[in-house]
Chains A and B, each alone.
Chain A
Amino acid sequence: MRDDSAPAPEHATDEWARGLLLAAADTIEVRPEPRPFVPSPSPRRAWAYAAAAAASVVAVVGAVAMVGGGTPSTRPVGTPDPSLFPDPTPVEPPGPGITLADDQIPSVFGYDSASARAMLQNLGLGVTIDIVPSCDVPRRAVGTNPPVGTRFGPGDVVELQVTNGGDDGYCAPPSNAAVWPFLDFANGRGPAAEFAPEVTLTVNGVATTVTAAQAADPTSWPVCEATFRDCAGSALDVIRERSAIVTQMNHRWVTPSLSVQGGAETQRIWIGVPTDGIFGPQWQVTLHWQPLNSRPTSLLTGVDLRWDEPTSAPAPTGGDPATLPDLVGRFSDEAISELDYRGFEIQASTTESCAADGLVLAQSPEGGTPAAVGDVVTLLVNSRPSIDPGHCASAEDELRSLQRFARGAGDRAPVAEEVDLYLGNVFQKLITRAEAADPASWELCADYHEHPCPMSALTVLRDADGVTARPIPSEGCGGFLADLPTALRPTTPDVLERTAALESPEPPRCFDHWAVQLWNISPDRTAVNLILGDH
């Protein structure tokens, strides 16, 4: 901890760092633009470009653990408990996963224009087409207006957004051109992919060679063993399930995307919903193509389905995967992603408070507890849809009262029913109002800048002059040290109004800065953070 907070030496100036980074960058050779952004004469040229690849490898990667079934009509989604998300489109939990209700606009990911239009019309929606500029292949459905998840009634009209294929002539040929037809085939919405005479289908290293005709029949594809991980079936099943995922992040429904990465000879693509970069256990599908120069498309020669062992991936926040992460103070979407990644089951409930919307206020079992994959973790998530900020007490008043109490006024601590005590931005313990009446309850002991135990916010308040009634600053030393737990970050103006700080005058070195910071989290919950400078 001390190494982390050690200040940079004097010579480590901005200019010094710029010089070093420039030297590092100069060791990186960059080829001239291999695929310049130049006008492409026509989509057909794009196909020809794709066919020019000597061989390409395509990997379809799911970013989150699958939940629910895989058919478009069931519309499974990736988040486990809708009660986490107070609005805009709450849904009922159907069991282990979440399903969009029948009156919610579905995802159109993976659909082409015609199939998306038909699917929406089958739901009773009127459909208009909006051609949107896109460098993707033409006539793919990319979204709707209103967006996925919006409630609709009979006869409502939805605008279906469809790619124009970059016909404004300013796009590189799309590198995913050969993949969309394969996704259509996997989703049962298109003809069989163009297979080579012999196709090698591999599942976890076990290869099976089939004819093109057999490959065109999804029922003949080899599947993973039913008992292995959360086996999804064949490679086609995996693709279908990944394509159908919808998840909710920051109260918005998010659909998967198809990404392609690769050059002329190798391509990797993946399907998934955003998970803040967290990639956990997943099935990976790799496609091998054999190009034929005389044809507009490549032939598919092989499909590999394999389990990508999670052990090869770093844990998103470090730590022992057999130990529960501490999720209190993080936002629910992050928390769910991490729990999902680590293989835990999730239950959640919400409560209203003055804290930021979506914050995890509590978890059970607590972070650090030994746990096994499949264990249930319960989260208490904050919801702030109807909070009147005015009912939250003034943090300044509370801090002034607390200072008076520290100096001996009164025998009842003027605090909320519960007080979270932090030391150096790290949560230490919770004390009740009754316990807070005893100054000894405020004493903390931890390895913190080699300060002797005990350390107490009350002691600092008692000896300090006045209370600086201001939000936790983002600039100056207060900001410098404000690498706060997410729960305590002043994210919105009304949260800012509920913070107050008593701080040292700006010291020569920020590491000498000290402060007592108070957050009025809710009418019955306060957080007090004690920051002490280097000793």
Chain B
Amino acid sequence: MEFSEYVAARRARLVRSAVLLGCPQPDAEDIVQAALTKAFRSWGRVQRAEQPDAYVYRILVNTLRDSRSRRWTGELPSDRIPEPAATEPDLTTGLAVRHALAAMSKDHREVLVLRYYADLSERETAEVLHLPAGTVKSRTARALAALAADHNVRSS
């Protein structure tokens, strides 16, 4: 896949992933831009990777970590409701999930976003996060339990 095709196909998902990972929305597009720029510099390697998405997500996660992302708390903007997307999303559920993600530990948030939004496998998630696969498995189970236990998610 050419770089431009990849950007066209994945950029929105990467931006949303960055926000779900805790990056403030106004910064997310720039973070993704920075990550994609890094990916472009080694696009040949990305293309040859077994799973290009995992490679790019690894760059994205590293970019987030290299930035001041540790200070971000994943707070939600409360001044307006986002525009509905074409898929007519369940806003109540979606916002409840975002609140739940923001309240979670970074470790739990990362595995949920990478496994269930970025659709990476356990092994790919482990590679992105530099963790043993077993740790990803256990963290995912705990994060799922935390999500399921969230009152707002349950009642939405």
- A residues lining the B interface (CB < 8 Å): 4-9, 11-12, 14, 17-18, 20-31, 33-37, 61, 133-135, 170-172, 257, 259-263, 270, 272, 274, 276-279, 312-314, 316, 473-475, 478-484, 489
Contact = CB atoms under 8 A, between A and B. Distances in A.
Contacts of A18: 116-117, 119
A135 B67 contact: no
A36 B133 CA distance: 36
B30 A24 contact: no
Given A30-B16, A279-B71, A35 B33 contact: yes
B29 interface: yes
Interface of B: 3-4, 7, 11-13, 15-17, 19-20, 25-27, 29-31, 33-34, 36-37, 40-41, 64-71, 82-83, 85, 87, 89-91, 93-95, 97-98, 101, 112-113, 115-117, 119, 132-135, 137-139, 141-142, 144-145, 147-149, 153
Nearest to B38: A135
B15 A26 contact: no
Nearest to B90: A23
B71 to A, nearest CB: 6
B144 A17 contact: yes
Contacts of A37: 3-4, 7, 36, 40
20 contacts: A4-B142, A8-B147, A9-B145, A11-B148, A21-B117, A22-B117, A25-B20, A26-B90, A134-B41, A135-B37, A261-B27, A262-B30, A263-B30, A313-B70, A474-B132, A474-B133, A479-B132, A480-B138, A482-B134, A483-B139
Given A21-B113, A474-B134, A274 B66 contact: yes
Contacts of A5: 142
Contacts of B65: 276-277
Given A37-B4, A475-B134, A12 B113 contact: no
Given A8-B145, A23-B97, A475-B133, A279 B117 contact: no
Contacts, number: 171
Contacts of A27: 82, 89, 91, 94-95, 98
B3 to A, nearest CB: 7
A25 B145 contact: no
A482 B34 contact: no
A24 B97 contact: yes
Given A170-B3, A474-B132, A277 B66 contact: yes
A342 B40 CA distance: 36
A23 B82 CA distance: 12
A213 to B, nearest CB: 34
Given A33-B11, A482-B132, 14 more contacts: A18-B116, A18-B119, A20-B97, A24-B93, A24-B97, A31-B29, A34-B29, A261-B30, A277-B64, A312-B71, A313-B71, A480-B141, A483-B138, A484-B132
A478 B135 CA distance: 11
B66 A30 contact: no
Contacts of A489: 132
A150 to B, nearest CB: 22
Contacts of A314: 70-71
Given A14-B116, A30-B15, A479 B133 contact: yes
A12 B134 contact: no
Given A170-B40, A475-B134, A17 B142 contact: no
Nearest to B19: A28
A379 to B, nearest CB: 21
Nearest to A511: B141
Contact of A24 (B26, B37, B98, B141): B98
Contact of A12 (B12, B69, B95, B144): B144
Contact of B147 (A4, A17, A33, A316): A17
B147 A270 contact: no
B68 to A, nearest CB: 6
Contacts of B89: 22-23, 26-27
Contacts of A483: 134-135, 138-139
B64 to A, nearest CB: 8
A21 B148 contact: no
Given A8-B145, A263-B30, A30 B3 contact: no
A375 to B, nearest CB: 24
A500 to B, nearest CB: 17
Given A37-B3, A313-B71, A483-B135, A29 B34 contact: no
Given A6-B145, A22-B117, A170-B3, A28 B15 contact: yes
